[in-house]
């Protein structure tokens, strides 16, 4: 999600800033600008990157390599698909030799009794049985559980948020900017039902994927589904509401962005921009106003609080503390109660990806997606038991949360967020561990963590044990705030940082090292300061990395979310690129897939044999379509920039999951 850049002015309840990544970090924690003179000391660690960036600087651009040399160098890459070109139009494009088929769309049936999708007469009841809006994270869990079956499994999908202007007839324009003048309680009820997630059973038959609308596994989770609150913050005073005086149960998960799957077959779904759902006056006088402000609450992106008291902070001030968590769901049991895992801290969680060490220690990597926020990891207290699923089901309730400090000498220090240690005292506002976790941002401020350029996905490369952090952009970083991990002021393009665990694979250690993989943006424009492998073509570079996946060959796949800035930061629609992480081609990138206009690309997710790849096309026809010359205006339900994927009159654009296969049945990207 990277939209909603302007606050509606003059609205009674919400005249404050509403962009999700405005940057609310009030501390003066070092951004490493003050230690940038240590740059030379990092020479050894940065050697790999300097080789690439120095080449880039010398050559000026990949285009300066002779075409033959570039082609010869690119020929050494491990992927060989024909590259998709930068561009933008109404359709999606995948590399030649591949098929990209729609598996499921917004409104398709998930549960028995789901009515046929009728966008002119949508209801909350229908929506709660149909595939939700804005598919984001996609995870594949093979069936039978514990197997590596590549052609039969459960697909788990997050439904992050809703775009009223292209969902509902007669709404006209983005409702936040229109002060919600057209949004009724019925609309809100449909929106709440369109949030959450879906579980569907899928099969590959004769090389093509289908889902079973009648599967016993299918499930819809919405903003009304009951969740249990688990971990140290369960039952804390800050978690209690009128609906739940025990502080142990909550209705719904909201703004679930990316996530992860566990080796014990559960789905981790991450609540991101939850501030946007809460409503209240600009002048917040509640005793916990400081805590709320640190999380941008109330955000007022939706007017749900007008119709439902729990979203109004003046009526139910603690409800917002019950959102912003990593959620764990057992997709094999549709009757199971999903759990909010408070031990993993509260933030704008982008994703949560696990590394399982040789001794079965479980480590979860996470990013807090807002400008100047932090990268975290969680080390579970108990070990994973491969032979006892039940013993793993609450493993994420107990352990230590750490936040990262990226130093100029190439080290990463993981700082523990433990009450009573390192200044996290009652006097400082942290009387207990629950408060540390509910206000993880405030605790990390005290520890002096490194302020990053919007941490998105943090992905573990299971072949090399290295960890990749997508930092999507931060146009508000000032020159004096630059540091080595966030090296550009007014960074509109983002970068990918690689974390190398201690001893190569000790994810639980208190320290690690880091290197830059790529600095995104156009490498042929010196002012951008991008750095890819010089053999990267004019289509091979990207801006604003967001979601990451690694395949079983250890190659990194990167989707982008340029938001409304697409025309400025690349001139191309969002897409998927494959990036080399090792050897002489490290930092070489090639475009594999391109989105329809106005869409963000999420997923990506490989089946275990790498012969299928699932992508989530989010909010087609919305972001920056007024800047696309053939359209030149904002979209509405009646007049969208694209009617992807159906291209039928009267059918609005529909967020959808694509299943990508190679026409010869082979491995993706070879």
Positions touching Ca ion (CB under 5 A) are: 2, 257, 546, 561
Find the Cα–Cα–Cα–Cα dihedral 368, 371, 372, 375, rounded to 10°: 20
Shortest spacing between CB 614 and ligand FEO, in angstroms: 17
CA distances from 359 to 362, 398, 508 (A): 9, 17, 11
Strand partners, 371: 453
Whether cis (ω within 30° of 0) applies to the bond prior to 645 is yes
Which residues make Cβ contacts (< 8 Å) with residue 181, sequence separation at least 6?
175
Query: Per CB under 6 A, does 1 bind ligand FEO?
Result: yes
Q: Give the x-and-dash track for 537-556 against ligand FEO (CB under 6 A).
A: ---------x----------
Place of tokens 């009951």: 226
Residue in 257, 375, 641, 658 binding ligand FEO, rule: CB under 6 A? 257
272 binds, among Ca ion, ligand FEO, none (CB under 5 to 8 A by kind): ligand FEO
Cβ-based nearer residue to Ca ion, 2 or 551: 2
Residue in 83, 165, 312, 369 binding ligand FEO, rule: CB under 6 A? 369
- Please count the residues of the chain: 670
Strand partners, 209: 204
Cβ-based nearer residue to ligand FEO, 369 or 623: 369
Q: Which long-range contacts (CB under 8 A, 24 or more apart) does 60-64 make?
A: 60/524, 60/526, 61/523, 61/524, 61/525, 62/523, 62/524, 62/532, 62/534, 62/535, 62/536, 62/537, 62/538, 62/540, 62/541, 63/524, 63/538
Cβ-based nearer residue to ligand FEO, 369 or 483: 369
Cβ-based nearer residue to Ca ion, 160 or 551: 160
Shortest spacing between CB 546 and ligand FEO, in angstroms: 6
Query: Per CB under 6 A, does 456 bind ligand FEO?
Result: yes
Find the Cα–Cα–Cα–Cα dihedral 190, 195, 200, 202, rounded to 10°: 110
Query: Per CB under 6 A, does 452 bind ligand FEO?
Result: no
Cβ-based nearer residue to ligand FEO, 176 or 218: 176
Cβ-based nearer residue to Ca ion, 234 or 344: 344
Q: What is the DSSP letter of 48?
A: H
Site for ligand FEO in 309-338 (CB under 6 A): none
Query: Measured at CB, which residue is nearest to Ca ion?
Result: 561
Residue in 90, 350, 459, 580 binding ligand FEO, rule: CB under 6 A? 350
165 binds, among ligand FEO, Ca ion, none (CB under 5 to 8 A by kind): none
Tokens representing residue 365 in the block: 């990597």
Cβ-based nearer residue to ligand FEO, 218 or 474: 474
Query: Measured at CB, which residue is nearest to ligand FEO?
Result: 257
CA distance 267 to 351: 11
CA distance 447 to 510: 14
Shortest spacing between CB 570 and ligand FEO, in angstroms: 18
Query: Per CB under 6 A, does 271 bind ligand FEO?
Result: no
Cβ-based nearer residue to ligand FEO, 270 or 660: 270
Tokens representing residue 396 in the block: 């994420």
CA distance 249 to 322: 9
Shortest spacing between CB 456 and Ca ion, in angstroms: 5
Shortest spacing between CB 258 and Ca ion, in angstroms: 5
Residues of this chain that bind ligand FEO (CB under 6 A): 1, 160, 257, 272, 350, 369, 456, 546
């Amino acid at each position: 999600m990277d939209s909603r850049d302007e606050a509606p002015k003059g609205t009674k309840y919400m005249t404050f800033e509403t962009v999700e990544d405005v940057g609310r970090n009030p501390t003066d924690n070092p951004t490493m600008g003050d230690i940038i003179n240590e740059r030379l000391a990092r020479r050894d660690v940065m050697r790999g990157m300097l080789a690439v960036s120095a080449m880039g600087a010398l050559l000026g651009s990949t285009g300066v390599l002779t075409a033959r040399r570039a082609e010869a160098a690119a020929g050494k890459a491990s992927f060989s698909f024909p590259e998709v070109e930068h561009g933008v139009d109404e359709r999606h494009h995948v590399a030649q030799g591949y098929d990209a088929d729609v598996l499921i769309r917004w409104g398709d049936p998930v549960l028995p009794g789901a009515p046929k999708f009728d966008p002119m007469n949508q209801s909350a009841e229908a929506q709660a049985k149909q595939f939700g809006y804005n598919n984001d994270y996609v995870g594949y869990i093979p069936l039978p559980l514990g197997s590596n079956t590549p052609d039969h499994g459960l697909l788990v999908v997050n439904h992050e948020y809703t775009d009223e202007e292209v969902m509902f007839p007669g709404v006209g324009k983005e409702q936040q900017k229109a002060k919600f003048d057209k949004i009724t309680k019925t609309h809100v009820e449909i929106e709440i039902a369109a949030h959450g997630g879906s579980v569907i059973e899928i099969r590959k038959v004769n090389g093509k994927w289908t889902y079973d609308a009648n599967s016993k596994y299918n499930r819809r989770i919405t903003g009304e589904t009951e969740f249990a609150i688990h971990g140290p913050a369960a039952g804390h005073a800050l978690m209690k509401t009128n609906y739940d005086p025990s502080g142990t149960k909550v209705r719904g998960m909201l703004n679930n962005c990316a996530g992860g799957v566990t080796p014990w077959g559960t789905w981790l779904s991450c609540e991101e921009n939850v501030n946007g759902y809460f409503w209240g006056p600009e002048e917040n006088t509640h005793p916990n106003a400081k805590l709320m402000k640190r999380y941008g609450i109330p955000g007022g992106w939706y007017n749900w609080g007008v119709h439902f008291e729990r979203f109004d902070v003046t009526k139910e001030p603690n409800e917002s503390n019950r959102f912003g968590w990593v959620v764990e769901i057992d997709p094999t049991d549709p009757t199971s109660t999903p759990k909010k895992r408070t031990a993993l801290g509260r933030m704008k969680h982008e994703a949560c990806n696990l590394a399982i060490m040789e001794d079965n220690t479980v480590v979860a990597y996470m990013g807090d997606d807002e400008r100047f926020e932090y990268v975290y990891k969680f080390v579970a207290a108990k070990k994973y038991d491969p032979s006892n699923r039940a013993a793993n089901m609450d493993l994420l309730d107990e352990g230590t949360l750490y936040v990262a400090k990226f130093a100029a000498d190439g080290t990463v220090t993981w700082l523990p967020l433990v009450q009573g240690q390192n200044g996290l005292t009652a006097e400082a506002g942290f009387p207990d561990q629950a408060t540390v976790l509910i206000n993880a941002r405030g605790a990390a401020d005290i520890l002096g963590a490194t302020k990053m350029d919007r941490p998105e996905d943090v992905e573990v490369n299971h072949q090399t044990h290295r960890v990749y952090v997508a930092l999507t952009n931060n146009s508000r970083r000032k020159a004096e705030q630059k540091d080595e991990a966030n090296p550009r002021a007014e960074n509109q393009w983002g970068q990918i940082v690689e974390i190398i665990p201690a001893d190569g694979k000790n994810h639980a250690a208190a320290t690690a090292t880091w290197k830059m993989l790529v600095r995104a943006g156009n490498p042929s424009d010196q002012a951008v300061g991008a750095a890819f492998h010089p053999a990267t073509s004019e289509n091979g570079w990207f801006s604003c990395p967001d979601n990451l996946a690694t395949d079983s060959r250890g190659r990194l796949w990167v989707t982008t979310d340029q938001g409304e800035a697409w025309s400025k930061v690349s001139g191309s629609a969002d897409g998927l690129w494959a990036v080399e992480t090792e050897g002489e081609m490290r930092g070489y990138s090639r475009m594999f897939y391109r989105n329809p206009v106005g869409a963000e690309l999420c997923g990506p997710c490989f089946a275990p044999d790498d012969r299928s790849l699932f992508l989530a096309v989010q909010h087609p026809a919305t972001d920056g379509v007024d800047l696309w010359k053939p359209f030149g205006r904002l979209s509405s339900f009646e007049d969208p920039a694209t009617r992807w994927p159906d291209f039928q009159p009267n059918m609005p654009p529909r967020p959808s999951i694509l299943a990508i296969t190679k026409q010869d049945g082979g491995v993706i990207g070879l």
